[in-house]
Structure 1
Amino acid sequence: MIAATGSGSGKTMITCGILNCLKRRGLKVGAWKCGPDYIDPMFHSRILGVSTRNLDSFFCDKDTIQYLVEKREMQEDISVIEGVMGYFDGIGFTETGSSAEIAEWTKTPVILVVNGAGMSRSIGAVLKGFQEMEKTKQIMGVIFNRISKNVYKGMAEMARNLGIIPIGYVPKLKEIQLPSRHLGLVTAQEITSFQSQFDLLSDQLEQTLDWEQLLKLAAEAGTFDRKEELNDITVFRKENPEAVTVAVARDEAFCFFYPENIELLEQLGCNVCFFSPLQSQELPKHADALYLGGGYPELHAKQLAENKKIRNDILNAIQNGMPCIAECGGFLYLHRELEDEQYQFYPMVPLYEGKGLSGDRLGRFGYITMRAEKDGLLAKKGDCLYAHEFHYWNSEAPGSDFYVRKPGNGREWMSSYHTDTLYAGFPHLYLYGNRKAAMSFVKAAQKFQKRKVNGK
């Protein structure tokens, strides 16, 4: 695991550089990202060509996290987990959802990235503090960022005196920058020059990191009992063997979805077909359910509006009872109109009369729990879903079928729509952490399929 003392320490850049260097060595490399982030995994996969998944201990219990890790370990020579925020930072002032919790559950050795700029001997206090805070002693190495070779000598010695292995350092690299936008980092496909920047970074890391020690630490990762499949998935497949087809929106406007969600739907017996609301003229034939994920529809509002045929097709499908999950950007797409970044309004799929409106600040951010106020597609009344929100755009009609609570500060509000065939709202769902909801969605698709076959 590549973790850090806090956000902005350089762990994403260094993780990407390490992944690139490992690929150069001919290794089959996999990557994980702690937490619910979509953007960093997109960099790993689209720029570096490294398969990336999320590990989130707010969404998933320990057995599920270990299952997800061991499911991939036989396919790769080495896996790199990128941490989230500061190493111990979880929900509120707990370690729930933190990089430290993931490192403990997965028995993974940790290399801590420390921004050493403007520091000298004080670096020892930082390392000792992190060392003493940790229960299971996963922190085994350190990389110092934004320092010179001369400064590194002293910092490395201080690390050794504390029993922490100095893996190397990264000097200040002004030519390598990662632009920002309203959802954090820009999407990977928009940065045409980024591969060359990674190559420059990797060239530097080849010189200033101790690769023998890094690979030696990776080899010390622990193991746990192998699980062929989670028991509830096995039982569901036996009791519900009918295969169904789920149409999933995927293009530049709808690019935020967890690959694990797709994998779980496939494990539950779904055939997944992708389509583009920007380009496709109709939904995939034989579709029994619809999944509209998040993304940047506001950046493509004009083109989405121009594809009137697919908008009508989607509206008719939902109104005819096709089960649908619409998250965040997918939810905005179901509004009568959507405002773009130039404050122009364009027609969308008019399932809801309200408008999707631009926001000048982050409206919702972080983990939430969602209690269903009535029976619906994903849950029975009183059931709880685990989700997260991250959006600037707002809705004139946000829905009120779930009671939502933010566990970090106790804030509460009502949100989203939930009928027998539809979930629509800003919250994003990680389905491995909400497997009952995923199974309910598949059952609804099977019911819709039977209705089509019977001509009803």
Structure 2
Amino acid sequence: MVAAAPGHADAIVLMVSAVASGQGKTTVTAALARKLVKTGRKVRVFKCGPDFIDPMLLERASGAPVKSLDLWIVGREACRALLAQAAAEVDVILIEGVMGLYDGSPSSADLAREFGVPVMAVIDAGAMAQTAGALVHGLRDYGPVDMAGVIANRVASPGHAKMVASALRDIPLFATLPKQARSLPERHLGLVLPNEVDGIDAMLDELADQLAFDEAAWGRLRTTRLALDQAADAGSATLDAVSSRPLAGRTIAIARDEAFMFIYPANLEALRELGASLAYFSPLADQPVPAGADALYLPGGYPELHAEKLSQARCWLDSIRAAHRDGTPIVAECGGMMALAETLADKAGAVWPMAALLPGRVAMQARLAGLGSQAMPTPQGVLRGHTFHYSSMQTELEPVARTTKHPSGADGEALYQVGSLTASYFHAYFPSNPAAVAALFTRSAA
């Protein structure tokens, strides 16, 4: 939980958004964060909407943890408190938007308007010049939003930049970035993880150096005043649920390696605030479940990229099966669930045996199988989160419940229970309902 002291703090706060995905938001945000850090400014970056991979890159670029802001999943007051705390500590706050500026419900524009955050529009200028003006004016006026300026990506030359700047009329061209000979590599769930990219820090430094930055335009940016006395504690609505620290004295073992790394930083904080001690282990390195663990958390990740190695990790497989037989609570999300099925078929079609705690077969597919914000029903109320996966599971096991898609209310992901195991493609945001989380990791509930 984030406590905000009464008072006020000033910081430059910007929503970095675009007309659509693929315009270079993450690259530009990372370049801008690294450049500001190199000039001596204290920078905090947030990610709008649910995401695991982009925040890893943005954390590498800024040198500080990157948390999520989402009006529905995280909640308005929690978002306000996170922003207020950051404004009291840093000079600049950058919020990378999700998809296009107005896409989704809630959208990046909704978040910007809720907190009075100006928008810095990223445009792919690689195949346009004067039309950039029409595009950006449309982005500004449709909402409308407070448009601070533009960062033009994939600009060919100084002459090209001048044409774009002239077309923007009353909206300043804040910076430009040339087309990159080497782009950040991607795979089916997004960018390749930063620690998998050779020379990632040198690449970020190069991006920062290539960002043609208008210091005069930066100097004209106004600070956004956030009223900290209006920012309630991020967990104020659920303080009663955690005041007794229901997980005190218990150790939760968490799988964490290149196969299992999709974890909200806020989830780890929530578990600690509930009283739990956290112990990490690597199934990919064939490490067993830590001795004495009272519960297990298997987050999402890329088990499909490491299926062969996981299938041969005997210590890991024997220990997770033993924990399940012993009735240890196990919470498995998306990739964590995939690793507990009977088999996992990778993108090449090779089929690998998994832990077989769940009766079912998982197979990767080319088409997106699940995407969007959802809510999971629990006896303690709904637990909010999201889903995003390119695999499907075939099973005869009947789900005990289904999540609800937001905002449509339609049925979402299946929730399975086998003994002490709770598994789903759903990624939960733990601070949205700490009491439900405590119950999930409690042996009596399992």
Looking at structure 2, the residues matched to 144 and 45 of structure 1 have their Cα atoms a distance apart, in angstroms, of 23
Aligned: 1:139 with 2:147: yes
**Aligned twin of 1:388:** 386
**Aligned twin of 2:77:** 63
After TM superposition, give the deviation of residue 144 of structure 1 in Å.
Answer: 2.0
After TM superposition, give the deviation of residue 228 of structure 1 in Å.
Answer: 4.4
**Aligned twin of 2:31:** 17
Kept in 1, the 8 Å contact 2:362–2:394? The answer is: yes
Looking at structure 2, the residues matched to 75 and 273 of structure 1 have their Cα atoms a distance apart, in angstroms, of 30
Kept in 2, the 8 Å contact 1:146–1:170? The answer is: yes
Over the matched positions of the two proteins, sequence identity in percent amounts to 34
After TM superposition, give the deviation of residue 419 of structure 1 in Å.
Answer: 6.5
**Aligned twin of 2:213:** 209
After TM superposition, give the deviation of residue 85 of structure 1 in Å.
Answer: 1.1
Aligned: 1:261 with 2:267: yes
Matches within 5 A, 1:199-238: 199-205=205-211, 208-214=212-218, 217=221, 219-224=223-228, 225-228=230-233, 230-238=235-243
Kept in 2, the 8 Å contact 1:400–1:414? The answer is: no
Kept in 1, the 8 Å contact 2:46–2:67? The answer is: yes
Aligned: 1:357 with 2:357: no
Looking at structure 2, the residues matched to 310 and 73 of structure 1 have their Cα atoms a distance apart, in angstroms, of 43
May I ask how many residue pairs the two structures share in their alignment? 428
Looking at structure 1, the residues matched to 125 and 227 of structure 2 have their Cα atoms a distance apart, in angstroms, of 33
After TM superposition, give the deviation of residue 154 of structure 1 in Å.
Answer: 3.8
Looking at structure 1, the residues matched to 225 and 24 of structure 2 have their Cα atoms a distance apart, in angstroms, of 23
> Which stretch shows the higher mean deviation, 313-322 or 246-255?
313-322
> Which stretch shows the higher mean deviation, 34-43 or 344-353?
344-353
Kept in 2, the 8 Å contact 1:45–1:52? The answer is: yes
The partner residue of 2:115 within 92, 103, 106 is 106
Looking at structure 1, the residues matched to 314 and 61 of structure 2 have their Cα atoms a distance apart, in angstroms, of 33
Question: Structure 2-normalised TM-score?
Answer: 0.87
The partner residue of 1:338 within 344, 349, 352 is 344
Kept in 2, the 8 Å contact 1:65–1:106? The answer is: no
**Aligned twin of 1:309:** 315
After TM superposition, give the deviation of residue 297 of structure 1 in Å.
Answer: 0.9
**Aligned twin of 2:424:** 425
**Aligned twin of 1:239:** 244
**Aligned twin of 1:375:** none
Q: Cα 1:414–1:40, aligned 2, differ >3 Å: closer, same or farther?
A: closer
Looking at structure 2, the residues matched to 74 and 399 of structure 1 have their Cα atoms a distance apart, in angstroms, of 49
Q: CA RMSD in A?
A: 2.7
Kept in 1, the 8 Å contact 2:241–2:435? The answer is: no
**Aligned twin of 2:176:** 169
Kept in 2, the 8 Å contact 1:142–1:167? The answer is: yes
* Paired amino acid for 1:222: L
Looking at structure 1, the residues matched to 365 and 21 of structure 2 have their Cα atoms a distance apart, in angstroms, of 24
> Which stretch shows the higher mean deviation, 149-158 or 13-22?
149-158
After TM superposition, give the deviation of residue 171 of structure 1 in Å.
Answer: 2.8
* Paired amino acid for 1:210: D
Q: Cα 1:246–1:117, aligned 2, differ >3 Å: closer, same or farther?
A: same
Provide, for residues 180-228 of structure 1, a one-character-per-residue CA deviation record: whole Å limited to 9, x for no partner: 21212222221113333322221111xx221343365363353342434
Q: Cα 1:433–1:420, aligned 2, differ >3 Å: closer, same or farther?
A: farther
User: Whose relative contact order is higher, 1 or 2, with alpha carbons under 8 Å and at least 6 apart?
Assistant: 2
Q: Cα 1:43–1:218, aligned 2, differ >3 Å: closer, same or farther?
A: farther
SS in structure 2 at match of 1:416: strand
Q: Cα 1:228–1:42, aligned 2, differ >3 Å: closer, same or farther?
A: same
Matches within 5 A, 1:74-85: 74-85=88-99
Provide, for residues 144-194 of structure 1, a one-character-per-residue CA deviation record: whole Å limited to 9, x for no partner: 2223322332432443x43x3321222323x13122212122222211133
Looking at structure 1, the residues matched to 318 and 328 of structure 2 have their Cα atoms a distance apart, in angstroms, of 14
Q: Which consecutive residues of structure 2, in runs of 5 or more, have no partner in the other structure? A: 1-14
Provide, for residues 89-115 of structure 1, a one-character-per-residue CA deviation record: whole Å limited to 9, x for no partner: 11xxxxx22111222233322211122
**Aligned twin of 1:125:** 134
**Aligned twin of 1:186:** 192
**Aligned twin of 1:454:** none
After TM superposition, give the deviation of residue 45 of structure 1 in Å.
Answer: 2.4
**Aligned twin of 2:6:** none
After TM superposition, give the deviation of residue 320 of structure 1 in Å.
Answer: 2.1
After TM superposition, give the deviation of residue 431 of structure 1 in Å.
Answer: 1.6
Looking at structure 2, the residues matched to 418 and 408 of structure 1 have their Cα atoms a distance apart, in angstroms, of 26
Q: Cα 1:215–1:38, aligned 2, differ >3 Å: closer, same or farther?
A: farther
SS in structure 2 at match of 1:338: strand
**Aligned twin of 2:400:** 401
Q: Which consecutive residues of structure 1, in runs of 5 or more, have no partner in the other structure? A: 91-95, 373-378, 452-456
* Paired amino acid for 1:433: S
Q: Cα 1:368–1:134, aligned 2, differ >3 Å: closer, same or farther?
A: same
* Paired amino acid for 2:244: E
Looking at structure 1, the residues matched to 419 and 234 of structure 2 have their Cα atoms a distance apart, in angstroms, of 29
Looking at structure 2, the residues matched to 402 and 385 of structure 1 have their Cα atoms a distance apart, in angstroms, of 13
Matches within 5 A, 1:33-72: 33-46=47-60, 49-72=63-86
SS in structure 1 at match of 2:66: strand
Aligned: 1:32 with 2:46: yes
Kept in 2, the 8 Å contact 1:289–1:323? The answer is: yes
Question: Structure 1-normalised TM-score?
Answer: 0.85
Looking at structure 2, the residues matched to 82 and 229 of structure 1 have their Cα atoms a distance apart, in angstroms, of 20
**Aligned twin of 2:103:** 89
> Which stretch shows the higher mean deviation, 257-266 or 335-344?
335-344
Q: Cα 1:316–1:72, aligned 2, differ >3 Å: closer, same or farther?
A: farther
Provide, for residues 351-401 of structure 1, a one-character-per-residue CA deviation record: whole Å limited to 9, x for no partner: 11222222232222222344x4xxxxxx129x5443322212221227522
